[in-house]
Amino acid sequence: MVSLIERITERTKPEAISSSPPPEVTPQNITQVDFRNLNWLPYFSGEHLFGPVENCPELQPNESLNILIPEFAVRQRVEAVAGNLAGAILADPGKFSLGAIREGGLWFYEQLMKKVEEISPWGRKTVNAENHLDIKSRHATETGEYQVLSSPDPERVNGKTLILCEGVADTLQTITIAQEVLSRPPYREVNLRILLLLDKTGVHPGLALPGVVYPPLFSCGNVWVSGCGPDTDQRFRNLGCIAVYKKE
């Protein structure tokens, strides 16, 4: 039996692409969407899913994962963004430092670095990479307290544009903390930019993303997501799609 995702992939052809992207991506219109078009923000509400995630050994019997953003959509959009950004970075590599907000941003970071390796004959050695920020901030929204587990070497990021990949933004707390950490000594003149995979706009309605955030690749409603970086109990990070997690 051919799955829904296989049918979608087969039917997504250039001649079927719409010039007017829909306000929400659904199973009914996804075949007409060009996810390589970076002039609009694809929105997935969470009310329209694309079937269960199959062959996932990390999934327990009382749990479910249903596809929110199909793998082909993630792949097309990530490749488009990573290609554009990698080209800009390699045009002036001394200006940039690259890293991720661990752990959720590492998957996205690796996709960007793969594109750098494709474009540059010297691969990762061309750029100032591996400048990761690791923050323990699970209760920061309630308490204002957080712990910096690791942070970039100031000598590698001071005076540069530091691009940190992040998997998902919900309360925006992690991004706010990153801004705070990198704006105080020993850091100086760090031009922070956040490359965001998914903005959960349903969690912060009416609250705009901080100015340091590049336009996100996707947005969604208030649903619990895993895959492509975001996790559930340290599981599902490496799924090729973004899925909605539920526990019975």
* Residue 185: partners with Cβ closer than 8 Å, 6 or more residues away: none
Q: 160-203: per-residue pLDDT in tens?
A: 999 999 999 988 889 999 999 999 999 999 999 999 999 998 78
Q: How confident is the model at residue 138 (pLDDT cuts 50, 70, 90)?
A: low
Rounded CA separation 109/165 (Å) = 6
DSSP 219: E
How confident is the model at residue 20, as a pLDDT?
59
Q: Which residue has the tokens 């199909």?
A: 70
Rounded CA separation 74/165 (Å) = 15
First to last CA, the chain: 27
Q: What is the mean pLDDT of residues 66-84?
A: 93
22-34: buried (b, 16+ CB within 10 Å) or exposed (e) per residue? eeebeeeebbbbb
Rounded CA separation 71/76 (Å) = 9
Nearest to 115 by CA among 146, 150, 139, 80: 80
Rounded CA separation 8/89 (Å) = 34
DSSP secondary structure, 123-157, as one string:
GGGGSB----EEEE-TTHHHH---EEEE---HHHH
**What is the pTM for the complete model shown?**
0.86
* Residue 124: partners with Cβ closer than 8 Å, 6 or more residues away: 113, 116, 117
Q: Does domain 94-217 have CATH number 3.90.700.10?
A: no
Pairing of strands 133-136, 147-150: antiparallel
What is the separation of C-alpha 56 from the centre of its chain, rounded to a whole number of angstroms? 21
Domain ranges (residues) in the chain: 94-217
Average pLDDT, the chain: 85
Q: How confident is the model at residue 43 (pLDDT cuts 50, 70, 90)?
A: very high
Whether the link from the prior residue into 42 is cis, omega within 30° of 0, is no
Show the tokens assigned to 179.
């801004």
